[in-house]
Chains A and B, each alone.
Chain A
């Protein structure tokens, strides 16, 4: 058991190294993307700070810190996900075009193989951005900063699982148009960037179930303010459930995998 874990971890590190090295080949284009991401994320912070200024630094009992947290933890999750596990975005393409073949030939879990097969270098920008905002929000309190970083990293579990589930579903729907992209951008990312208190009960229910925004931002922020670590058990438990569901759905999708004959190269 232990050696299996060690072997998988070893492979995981190697694969990461490779996908990052591949991404580095396009340094310039990725740097440009990273810069735009900074501007884009920064724009929202400016927007919020204007709103707060108009309202004398308060909005529905919320401190500006709260907004900083909303823009720090989920952004770290996002960064970790697409920097380290960017291959997850290729899952449906791999399955539909028959590119899973080479992964299926290897004595490793195909999921691990897929998610580590690509690195979005620009996500590194998100990661740094999230960290910087996190440091500001923590007011240099190490415990609080650790809460931000750890929940940020763990949030990637929800991102990756959600991606896997959606991509597998789009295989069934024979959807090459990527509903998954739309879902991720419009729902998950957006919801996790707004304060929990603005949402109605019904929507909140959704944000703690179908769209796991609650575990990527609301609950970690609760821990941040209350230092009540019992919430972390909920996050971990639900995270494991999400991941299990993702693996289940993925295996189902692979049952229908029929390969294909398109000529392909590993990029």
Chain B
């Protein structure tokens, strides 16, 4: 097992100023009783709304901060007590914090990181050219980090975090602020790392399409508590028994009022209906709707992942 987390909690003491001298200390439970296990080679998305406790959890898993209580085992090591040893086995990239050296060129930054991980000189250069080819960043190597565009820098940050060939990578919002092209490139890179080296990947993102494109498992955290931990398939099974059927008629049809199917939207020659596939048959529905006119086009779409996650967040807030 790669990651084994048991009853992990983290409290922060925050002091509120009340007037000039008065202060009030409050305890903020950023992470509460979180447990999960991750096997080698899994790609896990760790998602949740702002302030849910994602970054705090990653910081505990990587040994940056100490947990208030609970146990963590990463690759058989305890991040709090074996921080240095663990550092050789993990890579970590925070989209919001740079690990590279702003004043250096990318290649010098990478070389310095290499020596931090005690890699011999030739090995460093070999590895840099290997990664540069894989990430297609050969043309960026001589640029000063400070002068890179955000997307270019993010890719180089990932390059820096995997230079020492870690078994696990933690990526905290690796696509934050990137345009769609850059996002897709980062996703490709992450997938490649997973496929070629069977690297375990633990990532957070607010972009559901990242999650959909990359992950086989989603852990949802809200207010420091895990509210859902399941495979994407399972999520889809539970939340995706609804399909949307969009039907385009060749001519404008009159108002369709039907007690049988719920109509989400009707406009001109198009209607959109939502069907619960556990209760109704799509074929029957199509036959039914074709009786209203000549159908020129049909689209059947699953409820987007976005909707599912919104539902999970909302359900939990009500509880």
Using a CB–CB cutoff of 8 Å, the interface residues on chain A facing chain B are: 7, 10-11, 14-15, 18, 21-22, 25, 98-102, 104-108, 255, 257-259, 261, 263-267
Known: A25-B103, A266-B101. A258 touches B65 (CB 8 A): yes
- A-B pairs with beta carbons under 8 Å apart, 17 shown: A7-B118, A14-B111, A18-B101, A21-B108, A105-B63, A105-B64, A105-B87, A105-B92, A106-B116, A106-B117, A107-B84, A107-B88, A258-B12, A259-B64, A259-B65, A266-B99, A266-B100
Which one of A10, A107, A266 lies within 8 Å of B102 (CB-CB)?
A266
B251 within 8 A of A: no
Q: How far is the CB of B61 from chain A (nearest CB, A)?
A: 11
- Give min CB distance, B15 to chain A, whole Å: 9
Given A10-B118, A104-B63: 8 more A-B contacts, CB < 8 Å? A11-B116, A18-B108, A21-B104, A25-B103, A101-B94, A106-B116, A257-B65, A266-B101
Residue among B62, B101, B112 with max Cβ neighbours from chain A (10 Å): B101
Which of B20-48 touch A at CB < 8 Å?
Answer: none
B59 touching A259, Cβ below 8 Å: yes
Contacts A22-B101, A259-B64 hold; do A107 and B85 have CB atoms under 8 A apart? yes
B115 & A14 in contact (Cβ 8 Å cutoff): yes
- B115:A10 contact, CB within 8 angstroms: yes
Given contacts A15-B112, A267-B102, contact A106 B65 (CB under 8 A): no
Give the secondary structure class of A's interface.
loop
Contact with A along B157-170 (1 / 0, CB 8 A): 00000000000000
For A105, list chain B residues within 8 Å (CB).
62-64, 87, 90, 92, 99
Residues of B within 8 Å of A108, CB to CB, are 84, 116
9 closest cross-chain pairs (CB), A and B: A107-B87, A22-B103, A14-B115, A104-B64, A265-B98, A107-B84, A7-B118, A102-B99, A263-B96
Confirm or deny: B316 has a beta carbon within 8 angstroms of a beta carbon on chain A.
no
Q: Does B236 contact A (CB under 8 A)?
A: no
Contacts of A18 in B (CB 8 A): 101, 104, 108, 112
Minimum distance in angstroms from A5 CB to a CB of chain B: 12
* A101 and B64 contacting across the interface, CB-CB below 8 Å: yes
Query: How many whole Å from B86's CB to the nearest CB in chain A?
Result: 8
Chain B count of residues within 8 A CB distance of the other chain: 32
B115 touches A11 (CB 8 A): yes
Partner of A266, one of B90, B92, B98: B98
Query: With contacts A15-B112, A259-B65, A263-B96 known, is A104 near B83, CB below 8 A?
Result: yes
Q: Which residues of B contact A106 (CB under 8 A)?
A: 87, 116-117
B113-125 vs A, Cβ < 8 Å mask (1 yes, 0 no): 0011110000000
Determine the distance from Cα of A64 to Cα of B26 in the docked complex, in whole angstroms: 61
Q: Which residues of A contact B99 (CB under 8 A)?
A: 102, 105, 266
Question: Nearest residue in A to B10 (C-beta to C-beta)?
Answer: A258
Bitwise, B264-277 to A at CB < 8 A (1) or not (0) is: 00000000000000
Tell me whether B97 is interfacial, beta carbon within 8 Å: yes
Chain B residues with CB below 8 A from A102, complex form? 97-99
8 Å CB interface, B256-304 against A: none
A115 to B147: give the CA distance in the assembly, Å: 26
B55 at the interface (CB under 8 A from A): yes
Q: Looking at the assembled complex, report how far the CB atom of A22 sits from the nearest CB atom of chain B, in whole angstroms.
A: 4
A residues within 8 A CB of B90? 105
Docked pose: A107 CA to B98 CA in angstroms:
17
B66 within 8 A of A: yes
A29–chain B nearest beta-carbon distance, Å: 14
Residues of A close to B87: CB separation below 8 A:
105-107
Contact A101 B118 (CB under 8 A): no
The interface residues of chain A lying within 8 Å CB-to-CB of B115 are 10-11, 14
In the complex, residue of chain A having the shortest beta-carbon distance to the beta carbon of B101: A266
Q: Which residue of B lies closest to A15 (CB)?
A: B112
With the chains together, A101 CA to B63 CA distance in Å?
Answer: 9
Q: How far is the CA of A244 from the CA of B94 in the complex (A)?
A: 33
A residues in contact with B111, CB < 8 Å: 14
Complex-state Cα separation, A25 to B104, whole angstroms:
10
Chain A nearest Cβ from B124, distance in angstroms: 10
CA distance in complex: A107, B117 (Å):
7
Measured CA separation A18–B107 after assembly (Å): 12
A255 to B55, CA, bound (A): 19
CB pair A267 B103 closer than 8 Å = yes
Choose from B88, B98, B117 the contact partner of A264 (Cβ within 8 Å): B98
Please determine whether B97 and A264 come into contact, CB atoms closer than 8 angstroms: yes
> With a CB–CB cut-off of 8 A, which chain A residues contact B98?
102, 264-266
The complex places the Cα of A107 from the Cα of B163 at a distance, in Å, of 13
What's the nearest-Cβ distance from chain B to residue A90, in Å? Answer: 14
Minimum CB–CB distance from B44 to chain A (whole Å) comes to: 19
Chain A's nearest CB lies how many Å from the CB of B145?
9
In the bound assembly, the distance between CA atoms of A267 and B109 in angstroms comes to 12
Contacts of B108 in A (CB 8 A): 18, 21
A9 to chain B, nearest CB (A): 11
Q: Could you say which residues of chain A place their CB within 8 Å of the CB of B59?
A: 101, 259
B223 to chain A, nearest CB (A): 17
> Contacting A261 at CB < 8 Å: which of B55, B64, B83, B85?
B55
Most buried by B among A7, A107, A108, A264: A107
B window 61-95: CB within 8 A of A: 62-66, 83-85, 87-88, 90, 92, 94
